[in-house]
Amino acid sequence: MTIIPQKYGPGLQYVPSNAPIEDILFLMKRDGGIVVKGLVSTEDIDKAHADVREALDGDAEWNGDFFPKETKRASSLLAKSSTYAKTQVMNPVFQAVCAHFLTTRSTFWWGDKQKESVSKPYIQSTTAIEIGPGGKAQPLHRDSYINHNILTEVSEWDDVRDRTRECSLGMMAAGCKVTKQNGGTQFIPGSHLWSTERGPSPNAKDCVTPEMDKGDAFIMLSSVYHGGGENTTTDQYRLAFATFAIRGYLRQEENQYLAIPREVVKEHDRETQQFMGYYMSEPACGYVEQLDPIYVLYPELLKDAKLEDF
Ligand SMILES: O=C(O)CCC(=O)C(=O)O
Ligand SMILES: [Fe+2]
């Protein structure tokens, strides 16, 4: 932890996908976000894009301020693209970052014993977002507002104090070359340290826009103020795949159990199924008939199932 800062200058950092995970974690704690270059191959991005293209084209216009009317979205991506699942959701760097920030370990008295429970993160939401020419910037916001995450002001990240500070985090993987001009996500570095009530309102002049090649990924803590930028081009469509994860005991934004048909869930591997929510958050969130929800997918295993303490 002590020698890492000297390797990096101030401001948003761009690191290769084989950068030490400690560096990525350190920079996220310092800045709230980081760009990992070449996290996904351009071939895999193109395959995922082909898988979601029809849904993007069929999207209805948004009526409201959160998305400009020029933006198209495709959601429920785990129902649409196994390439997206394997190369983005289950990407080892993304998974390591999620495990670090979003695993909750608690010890409670249970009779005369102290019992530790470990709750692992799972999917919050999966959306491909394409901002068309003329699309205005989104209001700057914290995605952690979704889960009512109220924060105090801190001057810098403290691993012990802040172990449960963030409730979720997200990754924007570039589906094309992403620039400030075509609506790249803008964010305020360091704003994850701000309190909820702090004013005045977040200001776009404090933002930086990660510029990315296809396959690069911007990973951010969800308390960072950010938003899709304005697309000032006349002919560019900014495509990004947004993947969010959340602590295992909080409610998902995109309901995976209803969004993904069970036959498609069964096509994913066990780890992906767990990350979708077919898994219990210890000690006791998510059971079906008092058993791990995996038995809903594989009832043939029920004969060996036992009802046990949570
Ligand atoms: O499209 C983007 O760059 C950001 C989208 C976003 O922040 C959101 O939908 O919450
Ligand atoms: Fe957002």
pLDDT given at position 150: 98
Q: Which of 127, 130, 138 to mutate to test the pocket of ligand 1 (most atoms within 8 A of CB)?
A: 138
Tens of pLDDT, residue by residue over 41-50, are 999 999 999 9
Which residue from 28, 75, 24 is spatially nearest to 223, judged by alpha carbons? 28
Residue 130 lies in a domain: yes
Do the domain assignments include residue 272? yes
Distance CA 174, CA 213 (A): 7
226 Cα nearest atom in ligand 1: 7
115 strand-pairing partners: 108
Q: What is the residue with the minimal CA distance to atom 6 of ligand 1?
A: 227
- List the residue whose alpha carbon is closest to atom 8 of ligand 1: 227
- Mean pLDDT across the stretch 54-62? 95
Ligand 2: centre distance to CA 8 (Å): 26
The protein residue whose alpha carbon is closest to atom 4 in ligand 1 is 228
Q: How many CA atoms lie within 13 A of 273 on its CB side?
A: 19
User: pTM for the complete prediction?
Assistant: 0.97
Q: What is the per-residue pLDDT across 130-155, written as a single tens digit (0 to 9) for each?
A: 999 999 999 999 999 999 999 999 99
Q: For residue 3, is pLDDT > 90?
A: no
What is the radius of gyration, based on Cα positions, of the chain?
20
| Domain encompassing residue 266 | 4-304
As for ligand 1, residues whose beta carbon falls within 6 Å of it are 129, 138, 143, 172, 185, 226-228, 240, 242
Atom number in ligand 1 closest to CA 183: 3
Query: In the prediction, which pLDDT does 310 show?
Result: 86
The verdict on residue 41 lying in a domain is yes
185 Cα nearest atom in ligand 1: 3
Does residue 169 register a pLDDT over 80?
Answer: yes
What integer is the mean pLDDT of 278-291? 97
The model's pLDDT over 184-196, given as tens digits with 9 standing for 90+, comes to: 999 999 999 999 9
- Mutation test of ligand 1: which of 145, 180, 181, 185 has the most ligand atoms closer than 8 Å to its C-beta? 185
Residue 310 lies in a domain: no
Angle at 48 between CA 221 and CA 271, to 5 degrees: 60
**Residue 309 belongs to some domain of the structure:** no
pLDDT the model gives residue 2: 52
CA distance 276 to 257: 8
Cα-to-centroid distance, 185 and ligand 1 (Å): 7
- The number of the ligand 1 atom at minimal distance from the alpha carbon of 184 is 3
66 within a domain of the structure (yes/no)? yes
Task: Let me know if residue 92 belongs to a domain.
Answer: yes
Whether 160 has a pLDDT exceeding 90, the answer reads: yes
Query: Ligand 2 centre and the CA of 63: distance in Å?
Result: 17
Question: What is the separation of C-alpha 79 from the centre of its chain, rounded to a whole number of angstroms?
Answer: 17
pLDDT beyond 60 at 1: no
For the chain, the domain total comes to 1
In the reported structure, the alpha carbon of residue 292 is separated from the centroid of ligand 2 by a whole-number distance in angstroms of 32
Contacts of 51 (CB under 8 A, 6+ apart): 80, 81, 82, 83, 84
Q: Which two tokens stand for residue 270?
A: 């066990």
**48-68 burial code (b ≥16 CB/10 A, e <16):** bbebbeebbeebeeeeeeebb
pLDDT tens digits, one per residue of 218-253? 999 999 999 999 999 999 999 999 999 999 999 999
pLDDT above 90: residue 309: no
Dist. CA 292 → ligand 1 center (Å): 33
Given ligand 1 and candidates 35, 124, 129, which is best to mutate, with the most ligand atoms within 8 Å of its CB?
A: 129
> Distance (Å, rounded) from C-alpha 94 to C-alpha 89?
7
Please tell me the distance between residue 226's alpha carbon and the centre of ligand 2 in angstroms. 6
Of residues 94, 106, 77, the one with CA closest to residue 168: 94
The tokens of 144 are what?
A: 């952690």
Q: Quick check: is 136 in a domain?
A: yes
Q: How far apart are CA 145 and CA 276, in angstroms?
A: 21
Q: What is the CATH number of the domain that holds 291?
A: 2.60.120.620
Contact of 236 with 116, CB cutoff 8 Å: no
Residue with tokens 């810098």: 156
Closest by Cα among 295, 278, 290 to 122 = 278
Of ligand 1's listed atoms, the one at least distance from the Cα of 229 is 3
